[in-house]
Each structure stands twice: as C-alpha cells, then as structure tokens.
Amino acid sequence: MSRIRRRQDSPSDIRLEIFPVPGIPEVQEGDDVGKLISAAMPDLRDGDILVVTSKVSSKAEGRTRRGLTRVEAVAAETTRVVARRGETVIAQTAHGFVMAAAGVDASNTEPGTVVLLPVDPDASAAAVRTSIKERLGVSVGVVVSDTFGRPWRNGQTDMAIGVAGVTPMLDYRGMSDDHGNALEVTMTAVADEFAAAGDLVKGKLAQTPVAVIRGMAEYTTEEDGPGVRELVRQSEDDMFRYGSRDVLFARRTVRGFSAEPVDGAKVRRAVEAAIAAPAPHHTTPWRFVLLESPEIRVKLLDAMREAWIADLHGDGFSEEAIARRVKRGDVLRAAPYLVVPCLVMDGSHTYRDDRRNTAEREMFVVAAGAGVQNLLVQLAVEGLGSAWVSSTMFCRDVVREVLDLPPGWDPMGAVAVGRPAAPPRDRAPRQADDFIVTR
C-alpha cells in the first residue's frame, strides 16, 4: 500500500482528461486486447491509465460459456452465497470479490452464452500493459473493471477487479489535515475511483469497452505492482462478511484451534446475542460463565475427567473404551477460551402434577438451547470457531463446585472458543424436504 505525499501544486493546476477509445472491434477468443487497443489509440502516452471492461479480457481468454444457463454459471462461480432475494444472488467468487451473480454476465454477448470473470484479472491487466509497451513503447497503467452494487446505496458503479502499473490504494494514516487533526483510518481506493471515472465515458450501451484517464501519471508505477488484493478486505477484518442468507450456516463445529488468544470483547458480544433468544414467561433463563483464566480451565477439565472416568468405571467400560471416550474432551483442552452456559429456572411455575412440571422445565431447556445457538452463531460472525460439548451436563455438581456457582445454576455443556486451526470440513448434505412432514 502506497503512502502518498502532499501535492506541491494547487488544485487549479491539475488537468484531468477522461475519454473513450473508439473503434475496438468485437473481441474474440485468442485476441490480444493490448494489440486491439494499440491499433485503436496509437497516440497513448506514458502515464496514461487505461480502464478496460473485464468482459473484453474474459472473451479474449475464452471465458464465454455456451449451453450453460446463468443460474448454473452463477452456482459454478460461487464460493459462498452472501445473500439471496428471489433470483438475485450476492455471492463471493474465488477471487474474493463479493458481487451480484458472482460476476456472471449475460449482456453484450451472443444469445445463449454467458461470460465469466477472468480467472486472474491482475494477470489480464498486466498482459494488456505488456502488449501496449511492446507495440507503442509507452508505459501505461491498466485497471480491469466490473460493475458492483454497494450496501446501503442504490445503483451500481464500476470497481477495479484487476490492476497493473497503478497504485491501487493510498494510505493517509498518520498524516494530518489542514486543522492538524490526525488521519487514523483514511485509505483511498484510487483504483476503484479510476474504474468509476472510466465508466462515465464508456457507458453501458455504447460498446466502448476502454477508457483513457490522462493527467494522473503520478499514480502509475514502473512495476505491475501488488494488484487488486490490497482492495479485497480479508475475512477476519470484514465486519459484514455474512449476509442474511448464510449467517446461520456460518456456525460450524470446530475441533482444532490455533494458539491465538481470544478477544473477550467478541465473546461478550456473542453473549449479547445469546440473551436475545426467546424464553418462557418473560424470564431470562441464561447465565454464561466465561473461563478466561488458563488455570481455571485446566482445573475444571481435570476435575471433570476424573468424574467421567469414575462414572465409566462404574458402568463397566474397559480401560480402552474409557480412553476413547475421555479423548472426546480434548477439544475443550485445545481451546484457548471456554464458555459454560447455565440454565436458571428463576420465574418458572410450579404445578400440582409432574406432567406439567416436566413440560415447564422442558420449556426452559429449549430456551437455554436457543441462547446457546445464538451464542454459537454470533461467535462465527465475530470470526471465532466454536464447539458445543455436552460433558458438563454429566457432572454438574463438580462444575458448580470448581467454578463456585450457585446451586440453582445448571451447566448445559461447555463451548470451546478460538480461531480455527484449519477450515472446517464440508457439511454433510441435507435437504429440508427430508425433515418436513406436511399435514
């Protein structure tokens, strides 16, 4: 990421030109896009920045598909569905872009075909740049652009999906404004600004897929540069990673954790989500014990293991079988953070017969489960992995004693929390219809 210096010239000295490149023919597979641009605009200059619609690179690189519906193409290009409303799908691509229809386009292409994004848009930009350098002897910057929608804003704009020879991002952090205020988070996505500026003159219907931006040579570089990756926010920094469609599916059981410490503030935000769960009689039947001390975690798990082994011996299990079962608790030992959710029956009703009393407790248990589910989902939204393990339910007295909990707090398992050491395995395929009975 480039650090920018203040301009020495005044704004009145800046002259910026943006104009389309006419005369580029319909691009076919195998075409050299740089050659086509050079022929159409032979008077390109050093420091010019070209904004090239991604579709021309896609067509030249054989990314047109025939006999594939748009829905099928979107599914094939999607690595993660972020949101869905009707037939509109916002999806993440293998590049890391989050965009409508995973970038699949059925416009400005022959009927019965769809166009996919380039496999490596940075390489596409670099290839155009190299070709123009070889033919015209000038060094230009290249931005490959595509259309994106934006959260909280109507309408679309072009953004950069590939960059070569252009500084993609400017970092103003640490500088001061004219009032002496320190700039702490200001970073400008100049490659996206160039993409949007180029789209003003290319248009969507004029079939002019290339624009030239002249007067911004200071933003060009000798080398191809880092490409578009500076503009793609990493998942751990993405506050809006999960859309409405897949937020529940973000929760996965994680059994291997890295040694990275867990931010307790994230866990507390997950508890805020947990206590938003429904509960009977306007009660609050949840309590959450956060085990942030390594010493208390080890003390609890050691005591639980001893109780578990004693129970298994009493049940007549062999030493080998006991060892296998006890090993299941390793997921709790591997986690850098534990949460023990507890059920409290404050506010519950007492009835004359056991049937209704049993139903009353079951209502509270269901509410506790809803709270735990909310906790697990919000942990995933916070970028943390988790695993709910039921073991504390088999030695409640031991847990209450070690953690010094009130007699009315009923431990409902334990939740291992941490950064996943590896991506979780794919879910077993399940179809909703297999679990539905209609009357």
Residue 420, domain CATH:
3.40.109.10
pLDDT given for residue 176 in this prediction: 60
Q: Is 314 a member of any domain?
A: yes
- Structure confidence at residue 12 as a pLDDT band (50, 70, 90): low
Among residues 237, 268, 303, the one where a domain terminates is 237
Among residues 237, 265, 287, the one where a domain terminates is 237
Q: Are 233 and 265 part of one and the same domain?
A: no
pLDDT given for residue 4 in this prediction: 44
pTM for the model stands at: 0.68
Report how many domains make up the chain: 2
Q: Is 411 a member of any domain?
A: yes
Q: Are 220 and 257 part of one and the same domain?
A: no
In terms of pLDDT, which residue wins out, 83 or 340?
Answer: 340
Q: Are 223 and 253 part of one and the same domain?
A: no
353: domain range?
A: 248-435
Cα angle 264, 268, 270; round to 5 = 115
Q: Are 416 and 344 part of one and the same domain?
A: yes
Q: pLDDT tens across 97-143, in order?
A: 999 999 999 888 888 999 999 999 999 999 999 999 999 999 999 99
Among residues 196, 217, 237, the one where a domain terminates is 237
3-state secondary structure of 117: coil
Q: pLDDT tens across 317-366, in order?
A: 999 988 888 887 789 999 999 999 999 999 999 999 999 999 999 999 99
pLDDT given for residue 424 in this prediction: 79
Q: Are 230 and 154 part of one and the same domain?
A: yes
Q: Are 279 and 208 part of one and the same domain?
A: no
* CATH number reported for the structural domain that contains residue 135 in this entry: 3.30.1330.100
Half-sphere exposure of 112 (CA within 13 A, CB side): 2
